[in-house]
Structure 1
Amino acid sequence: MYSRDLSVAPVAQLNEICDDLAATGKRVRVLWQEPDQLTFVARGREYRSEFHINPSDEIMYMIKGEMQLHIRTPEGAEKIVTIPEGGLNFTPSGMPHSPRFPPDAFALISERQRRPGEEDRFQWFCGNCDALLHQETFVVSDYTADPVSKAYANFFDSEPNRTCDACGHVTPAPDSM
């Protein structure tokens, strides 16, 4: 992140940031986190299975590789939107979405910083019967605290959270995150 110096307009070198994320194995680099703006580069979301419900609109740009953006319609149906390399997507606030892309792919995400008290929700659905399996809710005041990893740990580290009340199916934990 940069310091707020109004005499400088910061420039992010996306290729260098992607190379650094790949070399270090890190998944996210926050570029800007301002009162009305949050922008970050994400590497690989192959492990994601939850649907994120963001209180703000999101814009996703695929720097490298292709994303399979899983969304849930207002009727509850799951659909997949393919975002190709160089493609740009607008995801409105409140739309359950799950960005999935391989570890050698990179996305630039821009959204509004959360307002005080706003909640992000993370929902998992049963892979067997599609019932709501588990939900995590966070007030995200600092994105560098990595709320997605915390939500994943709360879900995958608990077999009761991964067990469907409707059909008894247990969602397996991924090999790595």
Structure 2
Amino acid sequence: MFMLMREDILVFTKVLMGADLDRATIFWQFRREYTEKSEREQGASTGDPTLNLHVCNRKENRVLLLGIQPSKSRPTTRRPAIMTSPVTAPVLNNTDKWIEENQKFFLPPVCNKMMHNEGQMKLFYVGGPNQRKDYHIEEGEELFYMIKGDMCLKVVEQNQHKDVHIKEGEIFLLPARVAHSPQRQANTIGMVIERDRAETEKDGLRYYIEENGASTLTTLYEEWFHCEDLGSQLGPIIKRYFASEQHKTGQPVGTIEKPPFELDSKVKLVKPFCLKHWIDKNRADMDSKGVVNMFGSNSQFQVDVFGKGENTGKCDTAEIFIWQLEGSSTVTVEGKEYAVGNNDSLLVPIGQSYTSKREQGSLSLICYQDPTRKVVPE
């Protein structure tokens, strides 16, 4: 739920019944009506409204739509809501060639390079070594895959510190609101996919008090910020921590501000698993059904692996990432054809339809992270 300021105005409440509409369609219908209403009343559009969507009755397909006009004090320097993206044309890369051309960035002090950063999807490759004490917290999910070597992801799972070891060739989905601290070794390369943040979302960077060399659950130091470029924003926060009294004394100073949201203390992490072994185990279903889902429907991430055949897709809230795992495919986006070879990837822009055709022996991993599927803490 949104915390409304006094000057915020409830524009209207509308109930849509009996129509088979997804949230993205509802959003655009609302935005059009909101803009027209603003222009009629004020002579100009006030920009995109902040939305709060609730499915009231899925069986009867009732959707309660609340539109909130932003307050006058709302910052105007942040990027647009995550429903929009500057990426307007598909982006085709060969992963092996791209890594070879950018491997110099995988070494300290940078250790990472963004492949996709302009739009809603944030996809980057990370090297090492990188040992850190800080824990990152966000409302989105992160998808990890280790291309070369192993890594350790330190997490707080169900109020306990835990090490998640992701080995070479393994894939792992980190749920939202789980504190995590990636530890990477030299001569390793990993892929990470996350998403852009809505204007209302904040990320946290947290340090925990240590006792006898082990982290506790007591916060030593933390900062919350709207994440626009994590790579450039982390540095100043880390510098402030090392210059703080908390770092010098090992004890918190004063009162730590209440965080924007609490950690998910109930979620149970699914262990990392070998992508190749998973494919071999599910290959028969891919051949017979054409597609197998990887993580279920309770995540923001939708990750499917498609076998021989044809599929069409479109997402109005996220960019779609097509990764050719085996063989080749032909992908047509808005009438333009792309030849996608082995270990190529294709980024499909928000709102653009695609058709992917695969022959026998072809496998495509197709994924996106839909922010409207985010579970709001009670």
TM-score normalised by the chain length of structure 1: 0.78
Alignment partner, residue 169 of structure 1: none
Question: Is the Cα–Cα contact under 8 Å of residues 54 and 95 in structure 1 kept in the other structure?
Answer: yes
TM-score normalised by the chain length of structure 2: 0.39
Measure the CA separation in 2 of the matches of 1:24 and 1:50. Answer: 17
Measure the CA separation in 1 of the matches of 2:90 and 2:141. Answer: 29
Counterpart pick for 2:130 among 46, 52, 57: 46
CA deviation vs aligned residue, 1:37-68 (integer Å, no higher than 9, x gap) = 11111222532111111210100111222111
Matched residue type, 2:103: D
Measure the CA separation in 1 of the matches of 2:185 and 2:202. Answer: 28
Aligned residue runs from structure 1 range 1-177, under 5 A? 4=87, 6=89, 8-12=91-95, 13-17=97-101, 19-22=103-106, 25-44=109-128, 46-74=130-158, 76-128=159-211, 130=216, 131-143=218-230, 146-158=232-244, 160-162=245-247, 163-165=249-251
Aligned-residue offset at 1:16? 1.0
Q: What SS does structure 2 have at the residue aligned with 1:9?
A: strand
Q: What SS does structure 1 have at the residue aligned with 2:236?
A: helix
Bigger mean CA offset, 27-36 vs 61-70: 27-36
How many positions carry a matched residue from both structures? 161
Q: Give the 3 Å change call, closer, same or farther, for CA 14–61 of structure 1 in structure 2.
A: farther
Bigger mean CA offset, 13-22 vs 123-132: 13-22
Q: What SS does structure 2 have at the residue aligned with 1:89?
A: strand
- The structure with the largest alpha-carbon Rg is 2
CA deviation vs aligned residue, 1:61-119 (integer Å, no higher than 9, x gap) = 11222111111023x21011110011111001101111111132222110111111311
Q: What SS does structure 2 have at the residue aligned with 1:63?
A: strand
Measure the CA separation in 1 of the matches of 2:108 and 2:129. Answer: 16
Q: What SS does structure 2 have at the residue aligned with 1:81?
A: strand
Question: Can you give the 5+ residue segments of structure 2 that lack an aligned partner in the other structure?
Answer: 1-85, 253-378
CA deviation vs aligned residue, 1:121-152 (integer Å, no higher than 9, x gap) = 01111221722111021211234x52232322
Bigger mean CA offset, 24-33 vs 131-140: 24-33
Question: Is the Cα–Cα contact under 8 Å of residues 140 and 176 in structure 2 kept in the other structure?
Answer: yes
CA RMSD of aligned residues (A): 2.5
Alignment partner, residue 61 of structure 2: none
Question: Is the Cα–Cα contact under 8 Å of residues 150 and 188 in structure 2 kept in the other structure?
Answer: yes
Q: Give the 3 Å change call, closer, same or farther, for CA 165–84 of structure 1 in structure 2.
A: same
Aligned-residue offset at 1:4? 4.2
Question: Can you give the 5+ residue segments of structure 1 that lack an aligned partner in the other structure?
Answer: 167-177
Measure the CA separation in 1 of the matches of 2:104 and 2:130. Answer: 19
Measure the CA separation in 2 of the matches of 1:60 and 1:90. Answer: 6
Question: Is the Cα–Cα contact under 8 Å of residues 69 and 82 in structure 1 kept in the other structure?
Answer: yes
Identify the structure with bigger relative contact order (alpha carbons < 8 Å, sequence gap 6+).
1
Q: What SS does structure 1 have at the residue aligned with 2:210?
A: coil
